[in-house]
Structure 1
Amino acid sequence: MAQTTDLDLVHVIKRFGSHTAVNDVSFSVAPGEFFSILGPSGCGKTTLMRMIAGFEDPTSGDIRIRGKSMIGVPANKRPVNMVFQSLALFPMMSVGENVAYGLTSRGVSRAEAEERAGRMLERVGLKGFGNRRVTALSGGQRQRVAIARCLVLEPTLVLLDEPLGALDLKLREHMKIELKQLQATFNTTFAYITHDQSEALVMSDRIAVMNQGRFEQVGSPRELYHHPATPFVASFVGETNKWQGEAAGAAPDGTVAIRLPSGTMVKGQGRVADRATLAFVRPEAIALAQDSSSLGGLPNRFEGRVSAVLFDGANSSLLIDAAGFDEPVRAVLPQAGPLAGIQVGAPIHVGWTVEAMKVFAA
C-alpha cells in the first residue's frame, strides 16, 4: 500500500526553559505537496522546521517521515534536505562541485556524482554551468543551484527556510513562480516557511498560519483568504479593512448587525457569542460608485470622500473618509472607467455585501 503522507507531526511541543516555542502542533503533508508555514517573526515556525530537519529535538510529540518516527534520528540520517536563506553554497567550489558535494559525501564515485550533478543542473535550467564559480552567478541562479544540490540527493522532503528573503523585490517575484514550477516538475514534497504572505499564497497547495506557537488555520490559499477562521488569519493574510464594534443582533443564517463606536450600523457574517466584535472587509470586495443609486442592492452603503490615492500600478488603492468610520476605508482603485482617474477630495460612495464582511468575537 502506498504511503499516503510524507510528513506527519503529532502533538509536537518544544520548550526552551519556561518559554513554549511550539505548542501542541499536529499536521500532515501529502507526497508532492507544496506546504507552507506562514507567520510573523517569533511565532515558532523556524523552531518547527529545525525539529523536522533534526537540528532540534521536540520536548514531546512525534515527527514521522513516510511513517517512520524521526525521534532520535540525527539530521544527516534523515531523508530530508534543507535550503537556507543564506543558501550556504561553497564559494571555493564550482557550481558542479556544489551540486555533487552531497553525493560524494555519501560515497558515490566522483564520475557518477559529476554525471548526476550535470543532469540535475540541466533539469533546473543551468545546463553548461557546472564549471562556473558560484560567485559569478546571479541571485536567481544561485537559488537554482541550492535547489539542485538538494534534489540530486532524491530526498523525501525538501525544507526551505525563507530562501527568497535575501533577494531584491523583482527577483523575488520571479523566483516565486520559478520555485513553484521546479517543485511541480520534480513532484518533490516541499515544506516552506515564510513571513511573506505573498510567497505563501502564490506557491502553496496548502498553508498553515502560525501564531504564538500554534496553528491558527490550515487550508488552501483561497480558503485562508476568503474564509479566515480567526481574527489573526483575517488580519495577517492579505490586505483588509478592520473595525471594532459591538454585536447588535444576529439572524439564524449567520448575519450579524454591528454597531461601530460612532453608532453606524453595518451587517456582516459570523458566529458571535460576545458583544465585542471585530469586522473585516477586503479592499477588493468594496464597490465604488459616483452616486448611491448604483449601490442600491448592497446592505452596507456609505458616502465619503477620497483622502488618498495610493498608486502602485495594478495594485493601486484609495483611502476614503466615509461617514461613520473612525479610520479610512481602503478600496481597490479601478483601472478603467469613470473612477480610474479620481482625485483626492472627490466625493464617492462605497458599499459591500453581508458575505464580504467577516465578523469575529473580539
Structure 2
Amino acid sequence: MSSSTDLEIINVIKRFGSYNAVDGVSFSVAQGEFFSILGPSGCGKTTLMRMIAGFEDPTSGDIRIREKSMIGVPANRRPVNMVFQSLALFPMMSVGENVAYGLTCRGVSRAEADKRATRMLERVGLKGFGDRRVTALSGGQRQRVAIARCLVLEPTLVLLDEPLGALDLKLREHMKIELKQLQAMFNTTFVYITHDQSEALVMSDRIAVMNQGHFEQVGSPRELYNNPQTPFVASFVGETNRWSGETASASGDAVTIRLPSGATVQGKGQAGKAQSLCFVRPEAIALGTDQASLGNAANRFEGRVSAVLFDGANSSLLIDAPGFEKPARAVLPQAGPLAGIGVGAPIHFGWATDSMKVFAA
C-alpha cells in the first residue's frame, strides 16, 4: 500500500435542516487502501459516500482527491466511480457493452472501448463473456461486471455502497474474498460502506466505525476487535458479552464491578464513578468440567448450559449462572470432553482479567 493519499476528508458537516447527518468527520485514505465505513442504518455513512461521489454537497468542510478540492466539482468530473447495491447494470446491453459504456460516454472510439472492455473482463475472470446478456449471469458474475465497469475507467477511487447486500449468504461470503482479491490485483483505492461487520473485518485494511454522524474509532480490523475505544465499538464490532453494574473498586486500569444480580467480575479499562459497562468476547471465555480446567482465569463461575447454538466451527453455548442477569455466551470446542455437551449440563466458565474491557457507563 502506497503512502500517498488518495482521499482526504476535512471536518465535513452535512445538515438537513437542523439535523446533522454527518457531524465534523475527518479522515484520509492512502493510495491502494481498502477502507471501510461501518455503521448501523441511519448513522450517516451513505450521506458521506454521496458527498465523496459528488451527489451531495457538504454544508461545510472539504473533500480532497489527490490533494485537489472537490467542492463545486460535479460528479461526472470527479475521478471516482461507484458500485451501487443494485449494481445498476443495463439489462438491454451485453456484458461487454455495459463495461464499455463509460468509455464511450467519455468519447473513446467504439473499437478502442470494446478492446479495453475485453481486456478488463479477462482480468476479472470473465473472458469470453462480452457477448452475453447481463440477465443470463449469476449474482457473483454480475458483481464482477459492475466492478469491471468501474475499473476500466481507471478511477482514483472506487466507492462501493453495500454491494453485497442483495446476495444470498453463501455467495456473499464468496464475494468478500473475490472483492478483496480484485482490489489487491488492481491496487485501486476502495472506499466501502456497510452495516455488516463481518464484511468490514474480512476485507478492510482499515475501518471507520460510524455512529450518529461521527466516527467512534478508526483502525485496523484487529485493533477494533481487540482494543475497542468506546462501548459502541465494543458492542457493534464482533460478538461479545455485555454486562453492566456498580463500580465496586478501581485501581489504575484494574476495575471490579458488582453486577445487579450479585456476581462480581474483574476487568481492565476506565471505570465509571458509579456504574460501568464490561465486555468479554465469547472466545475469551474458558470452559471446563471443573475449576482446575479454567487455567489462570481470575473470573471463575459455575453454571448450567441453557442453549447450544450449533453453527459448525462457530458453535457456541449460552450459560446461565447465579449472579448473572443475562446468560454468558462462549465458544463451544469442537473436540474434547465438552464437544457433545447438552442443555442442562453443569459447566465451569471463566476469563482472565485482561480479557474484559471496562468503560464508564
* 2:37–2:208 Cα contact (<8 Å) kept: yes
- Do residues 328 (structure 1) and 324 (structure 2) align? no
1:28-80 C-alpha deviation (Å, 9 max, x unpaired): 00000000000000000000000000000000000000000000000000000
Task: Report the CA distance between 1:130 and its aligned residue.
Answer: 0.3
CA distance in 1, matches of 2:191, 2:165: 16
1:167 alignment partner, SS class: coil
- Do residues 20 (structure 1) and 23 (structure 2) align? no
Task: Report the CA distance between 1:263 and its aligned residue.
Answer: 2.5
* 1:3–1:67 Cα contact (<8 Å) kept: no
* 2:272–2:359 Cα contact (<8 Å) kept: no
Q: Quick one: structure 1 residues 123 and 291, their matched pair in 2 at CA, closer, same or farther if it must change by over 3 Å?
A: same
2:339 alignment partner, SS class: coil
* 2:96–2:130 Cα contact (<8 Å) kept: yes
Q: Quick one: structure 1 residues 153 and 213, their matched pair in 2 at CA, closer, same or farther if it must change by over 3 Å?
A: same
Q: Which residue of 1 aligns with 2:266?
A: 267
Task: Report the CA distance between 1:296 and its aligned residue.
Answer: 4.9
Q: Which range moved further: 317-326 or 20-29?
A: 317-326
- Do residues 72 (structure 1) and 99 (structure 2) align? no
Task: Report the CA distance between 1:322 and its aligned residue.
Answer: 1.4
Unaligned runs of 5+ in 1: none
- Do residues 202 (structure 1) and 202 (structure 2) align? yes
1:82 alignment partner, SS class: strand
Q: Which residue of 1 aligns with 2:345?
A: 346
Task: Give, as a single letter, the amino acid of the residue that structure 1 aligns with 2:118.
Answer: G
Task: Give, as a single letter, the amino acid of the residue that structure 1 aligns with 2:318.
Answer: L
1:116-174 C-alpha deviation (Å, 9 max, x unpaired): 00000000000000000000000000000000000000000000000000000000000
* 2:6–2:65 Cα contact (<8 Å) kept: yes
CA distance in 1, matches of 2:41, 2:149: 28
Task: Report the CA distance between 1:194 and its aligned residue.
Answer: 0.2
Across the aligned residues of Structure 1 and Structure 2, the Cα RMSD in angstroms comes to 0.9
Question: Pairwise mapping of residues 94-109 of structure 1 onto structure 2 (< 5 A)?
Answer: 94-109=94-109
CA distance in 2, matches of 1:211, 1:219: 15
Unaligned runs of 5+ in 2: none
Q: Quick one: structure 1 residues 205 and 296, their matched pair in 2 at CA, closer, same or farther if it must change by over 3 Å?
A: closer
Task: Give, as a single letter, the amino acid of the residue that structure 1 aligns with 2:311.
Answer: D
Task: Report the CA distance between 1:295 and its aligned residue.
Answer: 1.9
- Do residues 119 (structure 1) and 112 (structure 2) align? no
Task: Report the CA distance between 1:323 and its aligned residue.
Answer: 1.9
1:231-263 C-alpha deviation (Å, 9 max, x unpaired): 0000000000000112111123x1111111123
Task: Report the CA distance between 1:293 and its aligned residue.
Answer: 1.8
CA distance in 2, matches of 1:299, 1:318: 20
Aligned length, in residue pairs: 360
Task: Give, as a single letter, the amino acid of the residue that structure 1 aligns with 2:151.
Answer: L
Q: Normalising by the residue count of structure 2, what TM-score does the alignment of the two structures yield?
A: 0.99
- Do residues 178 (structure 1) and 178 (structure 2) align? yes
1:3-40 C-alpha deviation (Å, 9 max, x unpaired): 72000000000000011100000000000000000000
* 1:37–1:45 Cα contact (<8 Å) kept: yes
Q: Which residue of 1 aligns with 2:289?
A: 290
CA distance in 2, matches of 1:63, 1:322: 52
* 1:268–1:357 Cα contact (<8 Å) kept: yes
1:85-134 C-alpha deviation (Å, 9 max, x unpaired): 00000000000000000000000011100000000000000000000000
* 1:317–1:331 Cα contact (<8 Å) kept: yes
Q: Which residue of 2 aligns with 1:319?
A: 318
Task: Report the CA distance between 1:179 and its aligned residue.
Answer: 0.3
Give % identity: 82
Q: Which range moved further: 267-276 or 120-129?
A: 267-276
CA distance in 1, matches of 2:39, 2:125: 31
- Do residues 305 (structure 1) and 282 (structure 2) align? no
CA distance in 1, matches of 2:150, 2:3: 22
* 2:96–2:114 Cα contact (<8 Å) kept: yes
Q: Which residue of 1 aligns with 2:56?
A: 56
* 1:3–1:66 Cα contact (<8 Å) kept: no
Q: Which residue of 2 aligns with 1:33?
A: 33
Q: Which residue of 2 aligns with 1:216?
A: 216
